[in-house]
A and B are shown apart, each in its own frame.
Chain A
Amino acid sequence: MSERFTAAQGRKVVSRASAEELGSVSRLVVDTATRRIVLVVVGKRRSARVVHWDDFSGFGADAAIVGEDTSLREPENDHEQAGAKGRLELLGARALSDRGNELGKVDDVLFDPDTGALEAIIVGDHEAPASSLLGVGSYAVVLRADDSEPADGQPQRASSAPPG
């Protein structure tokens, strides 16, 4: 079953060791190269902490379970800092094709809760496969153009061209 980013937001995060509720999911941070969720941000703004995806024993429909209370930590490197501050946020981001045309806003992202692998990026009524994701940044989420987009210099007149 795929899961949605919008549904995963707000999910409670519980420690397996203590059964304590540690907070709730505020953001999911994606690695563009592997097209997977790598980091889950718990809490907001100054109190934001991060959990590596691999530290979850389960990302279930009712709760996301981490091994230890200490699985929740401060963001470390630049990528984690950017993720915690929302600069790598997909939801609501401007979707731009690699042909330089705006497609709309990212409304939702589908992923596999077992692996964290992205499945699709939903922009309006269009569902782009995760394999079309090329880049995520503070300006835009860049998606590989599909064939329905206006052409880039290749005249698409083959069907109307006279024979010979």
Chain B
Amino acid sequence: MKLLLMGSAIRGLPVVSIAEGEDVAEVRDIIYHAEAGTVVGFTLNKRGMLAGRHKHVLPIEQVHAIGRDAVMIDDQHQLMAPKQAAEAVASPETERNVIGNDVLTEAGVSLGQVKDVVVLAGAGGDVVGYQIELPSRGVGYIPLPAQLAVSGTALVVPSATAEFVVNDLVGLGAAVDDFRERLGIQ
């Protein structure tokens, strides 16, 4: 089965170097590329309470795996000064932040507002869905296609998305595959 992780659960995870067995940093925030539907990197804090911001960033290409308990990197040299990293990681477009955006289907129906992103565990940082605040029934999860249109206030998803709204992360794992199969991707 697929392991899916909430963005909120990834924030604060230790960044651990495999070769050294050390926690070299922790995740401060996720840098998300909404149109591409992927995590492009992480901003970092130093380890420990009140330790403050880490001056380096971690591009997703340098990540060995995102797991339930840690973000794994091969060794401590995977952390980079922002100026060495790609533009999308060094200066992310914060206006593209999707949290709070209205999710509209192509048919013009609002499914709710984005509360969090759902990331596939492993190496790629694939964002496979969103946790959304449903207008009537509390919290739900929707699968995402590989790419979608994002404006900064709203994002437009295929109409079929409405049929794949599920109540929990476990359901989302199965819904993602079925949904993408329906759309003819993957």
Q: Using CB atoms and an 8 Å cutoff, list the residues of chain A in contact with chain B.
A: 32, 96-102, 134-142, 150-157
Q: Does B183 sit at the interface, judged by CB under 8 A?
A: no
Stretch from B10-18, B54-62, B129-137, B149-157 forming part of the interface with A = B10-18
Chain B interface residues toward A at CB < 8 A: 1-3, 13-14, 16-23, 64-72, 120-124, 126, 177
Q: Please measure, in the bound complex, the distance between the C-alpha atom of A153 and the C-alpha atom of B4, giving whole angstroms.
A: 9
Cβ–Cβ contact B121 & A152, under 8 A: yes
CB neighbours (8 Å) of A99 from chain B are 65, 67, 72, 121-122
Which residues on the A side are within 8 Å of B122 (C-beta)? 99, 151-154
The 6 closest A-B pairs by CB, nearest first: A100-B67, A137-B21, A152-B122, A153-B122, A139-B23, A135-B21
**Contact between A101 and B68, CB atoms less than 8 A apart:** yes
Distance between Cα atoms of A32 and B19 in the complex (Å): 8
Q: Please determine whether A152 and B21 come into contact, CB atoms closer than 8 angstroms.
A: no
**Residue pair A139, B120 in contact (C-beta under 8 Å):** no
Most interface-central of B13, B17, B71 (chain A CB within 10 A): B17
- Contact A153 B121, CB 8 Å, known A32-B19, A101-B69: yes
Which residues of chain A come closer than 8 Å to B68, judged between CB atoms?
Answer: 100-102
Quick check: A97 and B67 within 8 Å, CB to CB?
yes
Q: Tell me which residues across on chain B come within 8 A of A32, comparing CB atoms.
A: 19
Q: B1, B14, B21, B64: which has the most chain A beta carbons within 10 Å?
A: B21
Q: Which residue of B lies closest to A154 (CB)?
A: B122
Q: A96-B16, A137-B17 are in contact. Are A101 and B2 (CB under 8 A)?
A: no
A143 and B120 CA atoms in complex are apart in Å by: 21
Distance A136 CA – B19 CA, assembled complex (angstroms)? 7
- For B72, the closest partner residue in chain A by CB is A100
Interface contact A100-B121, CB-CB below 8 Å: yes
| Contact status B21-A140, CB under 8 Å | yes
Given A134-B19, A142-B16, A155-B72 contact (CB < 8 Å): no
Q: In the bound complex, how far is the Cα of B64 from the Cα of A99, in angstroms?
A: 8
* Set A97, A100, A136, A142: member contacting B71, Cβ < 8 A: A100
- CB contacts (< 8 Å) of A137 on chain B: these are 17, 20-22
Q: How far does the Cβ of A136 sit from chain B's closest Cβ, in whole Å? A: 5
A140 to B72, CA, bound (A): 11
| Contact yes or no, B22 A153, CB < 8 A | no
